[in-house]
Chains A and B, each alone.
Chain A
């Protein structure tokens, strides 16, 4: 038998009994590994699903789009491009016009804001539209029929066969669309989709002046055409016509990149859970080695070298790590089944769940490695157990107590492993480092807090407290205490959940549209000038107050400081410079839906310059202009710069008079550009009218009345939009909470492990106390004091960290005011206190079952 055989055999024999305790701790690794395997497998599945679906995702090989009505120039480019691609305009080109509109079902008298898609041609060229009844998609070509999302029928109480009014036109509902290639579930929250044949689009009268629509063309090209270089050649011409060109390959690349990012960031959460598990393993090994001191000393006495003993325990840790990781793999494969449910709403793909070998191997490898590197530091203490400890329990470890080269090496391996894993996960060295630093900082704060508690208790021990409280608190700093491990384990998961609570609370508060503040909750838009008075009258007839109609004038930039936008688009060097970079094309190209007024409104705040006096628009010379700060920065302009606008062919010069900050989260008509009343009074425009309706029945009848009289006018019930937003936020929150859960679950396992590891000592101590006359009640109160103190500390630090992180995010990223989510924090704190108390009492149940004598006899 050689040395390795001895090590192996010792590791195996030792693990039979002691290993069970370690095994509990390796389950801490399991959860992290589970999360990792689930996420890696899921992203693998997504990548596989993406393979070959790219054309179906786009609906064609090439797609052109524009947000303004296509000009003859655009049509010309489209025509040339189609021919150049070798596609037949009659069969290989499809046109889809999408816009928001009000649909009305006369039978049920229900109205609903819908996303209309008017189709012409054989769209989609790839992928399969699944309808109910089957094959209904083909009926779109037959006549005045429509296919709708199932949600449309449900919300209006309508059925297949009913008539749906859309603008001035009527359609028979021929079926529902169960699945459309490339559609993202979460989009449905903004209104159900309604498909109509494009030849009736004109008839609806919905695309009047000022209404917004998206125009898309899809092309099917011969397989021989390499779309990417083709698209690159044509992009400048399409861009010059305010259009965009996209290929299926690019679409796939974008999506692949998105999935890759998603996988990486979700993987980070798994990594956090893994690292917490690692801390759990480390603390367990530390206590384990302390308790193995006698055995180690005996082995050393019998001639085992410290290297052999160290190797035996390291092997044990590796084996436990492997078992824990194996359990994690199974957990991960189970979790994987839940992934499509949690993330499906954000993905345009149907995913089939299949285990990925690569994910499994990664999980196993990373799990064992984490267990090893975290076990390494406490295991090095094995070398310091002198054989003399057999004769003298109190023997000191002497000169080797100071950190030696091995300990520094182990610390280095640990740090490099964490940073390395983060870097690999994020795929970016700097971000990986930043992530490690962030996690390290949070852990450091938790660790310092726990250490601070221990030190302060020792220093300023509250001697006047009743005995049971004193005993409970003293337990927090006695030898082999688990204070640091428990605070770290619980605190980190709680910090993540707390930060989530802060974000959800503060962001949702911003989106409170219907907070009873009397703010408008019903918006009518696309109102034509001749309809304005009638709409206002309708509102007043319903007994409601209407705010003044807000005019909307679509404008485009013609020149900045005398340089023509066309020249800037053609030659980047002519564009203004912003932060060392040239202004981007989209800001120059886009349509600015602007308004005119002489006063500032509640949802904006002046930051630079002054508002003009009423009547300033009548003065000769360029009109004063108010710009939103963000767009001013995008255009690299500031006050006193000159902007020339093109309004349906007429040019108007303006000078930036002030810059505004706009609270876009307020659902009110907000604008990038505002000019004084006067110059635009006769420009082509539409109007928006807002009102507040508190009665749902009045809301319904008013919407219906206006749709019937003015079918082109679209109305949005902000209350339902608010619900949609909340639904989206809720599904995002679910996804995040699902991930944060791993950290908390790992925290709980580490907690159970930490308390179970020190259980032996607690039970013995309690037995002694009982022997000395303590009642069961007193013993329980001592334990509750200790565990509750741990929970309170974890809660204070975690919520403090979450508030700090949340405050910084709100202030610097979201730029919204910050408040503390007291209710969320209260619940979190209760859970944090309840967890260690119940776990602690549960792991000490033995004590209440057995007599103190029985416990002491085991000594």
Chain B
């Protein structure tokens, strides 16, 4: 379970503090599939960064499965991510110098686990068998995002964060990626938090959290789980 308490984030802009998130409080239960939506600049990505322990809040707390992320050191946060979190990014962020398989192996290797068969299994699962030894540059956008998905699930994360996962893909490819994402969420029971401004995609989730100007302006249950 993710619990956010009175979370605020300010950045310095032109020497003056600029509030990007203002006093946000919310809870995302285990196994939830939630979307954070909102216009550009509403603070979606900042919130995702704070939930995933990629950044530190100015005020407030983020508690994941009972652990207060704000109390962890840099290495503690790294260990937290290695153990429990998976990521999917808009621009895939595969490591260009590693093959598809090696990219998927990284999170497992970080945990000190044997990674080979799990990586192959996941790559097959996202429909990339036979492409294991290709480098990112040799894969299409959709294929790269599928490798990213495989990587995100490789360490059996309890939580998956996805930042505009279809933002760089055409509709059909995006659709395919989302299907895989939802399947994996269902099969593995991973808590999934999606950031998107694609309402079509958001509607496929169970819950939509709307942000505007750094504050939660709506929190509704809808879409996939209901259907």
Contact = CB atoms under 8 A, between A and B. Distances in A.
Interface residues of B, number: 39
Given A299-B95, A303-B83, A305-B78, A387 B54 contact: yes
B110 A388 contact: no
Interface stretch (B29-37, B60-68, B101-109, B215-223): B101-109
Contacts of A302: 81-82, 87, 106-107, 110, 151
Contacts of B80: 303
A388 B48 CA distance: 10
B97 A388 contact: no
A3 B112 contact: yes
B79 A391 contact: no
A717 interface: no
A115 interface: no
A224 interface: no
B79 A305 contact: yes
B183 interface: no
B220 to A, nearest CB: 25
B93 A390 contact: yes
Contacts of A297: 93
A14 B97 contact: yes
A308 B79 CA distance: 12
Contacts of A17: 96-97, 135
B134 to A, nearest CB: 13
B110 A308 contact: yes
Contacts of B52: 301
B75 interface: yes
A13 interface: yes
B98 interface: yes
Contacts of A304: 78, 82, 106, 110
A386 B50 CA distance: 13
Which of B54, B102, B151 has its CB near the most chain A CB atoms (within 10 A)?
Answer: B54
Taking residues whose C-beta sits less than 8 angstroms from the other chain, chain A's interface range is 20 to 34
B114 A391 contact: no
A16 interface: yes
A575 interface: no
Given A301-B87, A391-B49, A1 B54 contact: no
B93 A388 contact: no
B89 A391 contact: yes
B93 A305 contact: no
Interface string B142-162: 000000000100010000000
Interface string B106-126: 110111111100000000000
Contacts of A390: 54, 87, 89, 93
A307 B110 CA distance: 12
B55 interface: yes
Contact of A391 (B109, B112, B163): B163
B74 A306 contact: yes
Interface in A1-54: 1-3, 5-6, 9-10, 13-14, 16-18
Which of A13, A299, A391 has its CB near the most chain B CB atoms (within 10 A)?
Answer: A391
Contacts of A308: 110
A301 B81 contact: yes
B45 interface: yes
A339 interface: no
Contact of B112 (A1, A10, A300): A1
A231 interface: no
Contacts of B89: 390-391
A660 to B, nearest CB: 73
B209 interface: no
Interface string A387-411: 1101110000000000000000000
Given A295-B97, A303-B79, A306-B74, A388 B107 contact: no
Contacts of B7: none
Nearest to B90: A391
A514 interface: no
Contacts of B115: 1
Interface string A295-325: 1011111111111100000000000000000
A306 B54 contact: no
B112 A16 contact: no
A92 interface: no
Contacts of A298: 93-95
A306 B78 contact: yes
A294 interface: yes
Contacts of B97: 13-14, 16-18, 295
Given A3-B112, A386-B55, A391-B54, A299 B106 contact: yes
Interface of B: 45, 48-49, 52, 54-55, 74-75, 77-83, 85, 87, 89, 93-98, 102, 106-107, 109-115, 135, 137, 151, 155, 163
8 contacts: A17-B96, A17-B97, A298-B95, A301-B93, A302-B107, A302-B110, A302-B151, A306-B74
The 9 closest A-B pairs by CB, nearest first: A303-B82, A303-B81, A17-B97, A388-B54, A305-B78, A387-B54, A388-B55, A305-B75, A298-B93
Interface of A: 1-3, 5-6, 9-10, 13-14, 16-18, 294-295, 297-308, 386-388, 390-392, 858
